[in-house]
Each structure stands twice: as structure tokens, then as C-alpha cells.
Amino acid sequence: MRALYVTSTGIFSGKTALCVGLGRRMQQDGFEVGYMKPVSTIARRIKGRIVDEDALFMSEVLGLSEPPDE
């Protein structure tokens, strides 16, 4: 497994949008893709669990099988 860590000095700078593009392209090229957001600024409670909104979005867009809070 190889990891790619995307970071920025500011919030709302397009990191999630970049990850959507990279993730979808890598899936098209036959790679297995996962997503983890170790630092969260936007989280909400869903079914009693705190979930980052970007992680939830990425899970839905990329069709990931693991829940975004794990």
C-alpha cells in the first residue's frame, strides 16, 4: 500500500476537491482507493457517531466500503 498525504496551510483551499479527482482517476486506472482525514474542522453527529463531513462525502463519491469514522 502506498499513501499520499494532502495538506495545506489554510482551510477551504481545495484539498477535498483534489482528492476527489485523484481518487476517481486512480480507481479508473485500477487502483484500490481509501480515504482518511486525520484532522477535522467540520464534523457532525450521525447516528450517535461524530463524522467529518469531507470524509463522509469522499466515502460516498468514491463508493468506499469502510465507514468514514473508522
Of 8, 7, 13, 65, the C-alpha closest to 34 is 65
Of 27, 52, 25, the C-alpha closest to 37 is 52
Q: Which residues contact 54 (CB under 8 A, 6 or more apart)?
A: 16, 37, 40, 42
Confidence of residue 64 (pLDDT cuts 50, 70, 90): very high
Torsion angle, alpha carbons of 49, 55, 61, 66, to 10: -60
- Better-scored residue on pLDDT, 25 or 37: 25
Q: What is the pLDDT of residues 5-14, one digit of tens each?
A: 999 998 889 9
Domain count, the chain: 1
Q: What is the pLDDT of residues 35-58, one digit of tens each?
A: 988 888 788 888 888 888 899 999
The domain in which residue 29 lies consists of 1-70
* pLDDT at residue 38, rounded to an integer: 84
Its pTM stands at 0.81
